Amino acid sequence: MKSVLYVLSAFAVMGLAFWAYHENYQTQQALKDVEQLQREIGARRESLAVLRAEWAYLNRPERLNDLVNMNFERLGLLPLTPEQFGRVEQLSYPVTHDIIPGLGSDFDIDNSVSVQGDQP
């Protein structure tokens, strides 16, 4: 009986030793992975910072101004002026044809003008 117990505990010790050995290597691998990831995060952050700096550099107002001037014929961009602010009532809405009931959609008004406001 006693010898069986001895043999069993010897196997248990060997099993545990193998498990501990295995865990040790897994832990070291995980640490290496973390380190690798940290390094990668650092590198990514660095390149992100460089990209952000480059984005800011390429979008500097001076350069955008030059680009707008160079492409004026194509884009026709001008500085924002007060006249470009509009109001809702200054918009002309698209004319829908069946606005007068019973006339159908083939009814066309010649020389239509857009009218707004009260009747005189």
Partner 1 sequence: MIRAPLRPLARILRAREAGENPDAIEAENLRLRHENMRDASRLQAEGRLLVLSVFFFCAFALVGARMGLLAASEAEEPRAQASGAAIVAQRADITDRNGRILATNMYTYSLYAQVPDMVDKPKAARELALIFPDLNEQKLLEDFTGKRKFLWIRRVLSPEQKQAVHDIGDPGLLFGPREMRLYPNGKLAAHILGGATFGREGVHSAEVIGVAGVEKAFDDFLRDPANGGKPLQLSIDLTVQSALRQVLYGGMKLMNAKGAAAVLMNIHTGEIISMVSLPDFDPNDRPTPALTGDPADSPLFNRAVQGVYELGSTFKIFAIAQSMELGLNGPDTMVDANAPMKWGKFTIREFENKNYGPKLSVTDVIVKSSNVGTARIAMEIGAQRQKEFLRTLGFLEATPVEMVEAPGARPIFPSNWSEITTITASYGHGIAASPLHLAAGYSSLLNGGTLVTPTLLKRENVAPGPRIVSKQVSAAARDMLRQVVVRGTASFGAVPGYEVGGKTGTANKPKPNGGYYDNKNINTFAAVFPTSEPEYTLIVTMDEASDNSSSKPRRTAGWTAVPVAAEVIRRTAPLLGLRPIIEKVGLPEVTLTSN
Q: Which residues bind partner 1 (CB under 8 A)?
A: 27, 31, 34-35, 38, 41-42, 45-46, 49-50, 52-53, 56-57, 59-62, 65, 79-85, 87-89, 116-118
State how far the Cα of 83 lies from the Cα of 92, in Å rounded to an integer. Answer: 17
- Location of structure tokens 């060997």: 14
Contact 116, 89 (CB under 8 A): yes
Kindly tell me which of 83 and 108 has the beta carbon lying closer to partner 1.
83
Residue 34: exposure state from Cβ atoms within 10 A (0-12, 13-18, ≥19): exposed
Q: In the complex, what is the shortest distance from the CB of residue 56 to partner 1, in angstroms, rounded to a whole number?
A: 4
Cβ of residue 104: shortest distance to partner 1, in angstroms? 26
CB of 71 to partner 1, least distance (A): 18
